[in-house]
Amino acid sequence: MSRSTLISLATIGSCALLGGAFLFQFFGYPPCELCLWQRWPHAAAIVIGAAALSMNARVLAWLGAFAAATTSGIGVYHTGVERHWWEGPDSCTGSGALDVGNLLSTDGPGIVMCDQVAWEMFGLSMASWNALASFGLMILWLMAVHRRF
C-alpha cells in the first residue's frame, strides 16, 4: 500500500472512532472526562491526515502516529481506572470530592464517573476498544512513515 492509502485509512479510522463516540453519546451514553480526553487526539489525527495527504510530508505521518498513540495510551489509562487498577482523576472517580453545584444542576446528566463502565462488548469497555483500535491506527501511521506516496 502507498503512503497516501495508509494515511487515508488511518484518517478514516479516526473519523470512525470519533463518530462512534458521538453516536454513543447521541444514544444516551454521556462521556466522562477521560472519554473526552480520548477524543482530542482523534480530532488532531483527522486534521493531520488531511494535511499529510495534501502536503506529502513524512513528518506529518509521525505526528499522526503520535496522535494515535496518545489516544491509545489514554484508553489504556482509562481502562485501568475502570478496572480499579489505579486511581483516576479526582474530578470523575469515586475517590474525589463531589461538587455540590454539579449535583444540584438541572443543565444535563451531571457527573459521569470515569471509574464505571457504561458499555462493554466481549468484556472490553469503550475505552479498551478505543485503545486497541487506536493502536492499530498508530501501526498504519508508522507504516505510512516508511512508504512512498
Query: Looking at the domain assignment, is residue 68 inside a domain?
Result: yes
pLDDT for position 109: 53
Of 138, 109, 133, the closest CA to residue 20 belongs to 133
Query: Looking at the domain assignment, is residue 98 inside a domain?
Result: no
Q: What is the CATH number of the domain that holds 117?
A: 1.20.1550
Query: Looking at the domain assignment, is residue 102 inside a domain?
Result: no
Query: Looking at the domain assignment, is residue 103 inside a domain?
Result: no
Query: Looking at the domain assignment, is residue 99 inside a domain?
Result: no
Range of the domain at 137: 3-93+108-145
pLDDT tens by residue, 102-138: 555 555 556 789 999 999 999 999 999 999 999 999 9
Tell me, rounded to whole angstroms, the distance of Cα 113 from its chain centroid: 17
Tell me the pLDDT band of 58, cut-offs 50, 70 and 90: confident
Q: What is the pTM assigned to this prediction?
A: 0.86
The residue whose grid cell reads 470515569 is 114
